[in-house]
Amino acid sequence: MNLFDLSGKVAVVTGGTHGLGMAMAEGLASAGAELAITSTTPSKLDEALEYYRSKGYSATGYLFDVTDEREAAQKVALMLATHGKIDILVNNAGIIKRVPALEMDVADFRKVIDVDLTGPFIMSQLVGKHMIKRHSGKIINICSMMSELGRDNVVAYASAKGGLKM
């Protein structure tokens, strides 16, 4: 008995090329979803697509930075033209810089906030408009225990994930 059927659904997973993003994308695909995965690294994107396709999953890759509003808008438009719709958005792309708070450069702090908090905002806004028009869709934001418990060497990451959780 199939209790989790996503046949006919299109799932976008940002950062779906490795780690948790890849595991979540594979779970969605194994339930029948067509994948659209994103990455900023061409080689990782190619390797992930090869892996998904070797498993028999339908997967398309999109190379772009979720913090670049213009590029994200272009790629989301391309996803919609290619797939016809987006049913699920998993905001997974993220970075962490393990540096004590008193030693962290402001530029590094801003980069983590941009990728881990602003990127999901941009993607949710772009995809959310489409979902609202269709009266259908799910947006899943990937947080962390650090959204509840901060530590001095992951201050930017904990701040971003705390903001995303809220």
Q: Containing H/E element for 48?
A: helix 42-54
Q: Terminal CA-to-CA distance of the chain, rounded, Å?
A: 36
Integer CA distances (angstroms), 7 to 18, 19, 31, 32, 131, in order: 23, 24, 7, 4, 18
Annotated catalytic residue 157: yes
- Output the six-digit token pair for 60: 């398309």
Whole-number Å distance between alpha carbons of 85 and 10: 7
Give residue for tokens 């949710």: 124
Residues belonging to the active site:
157
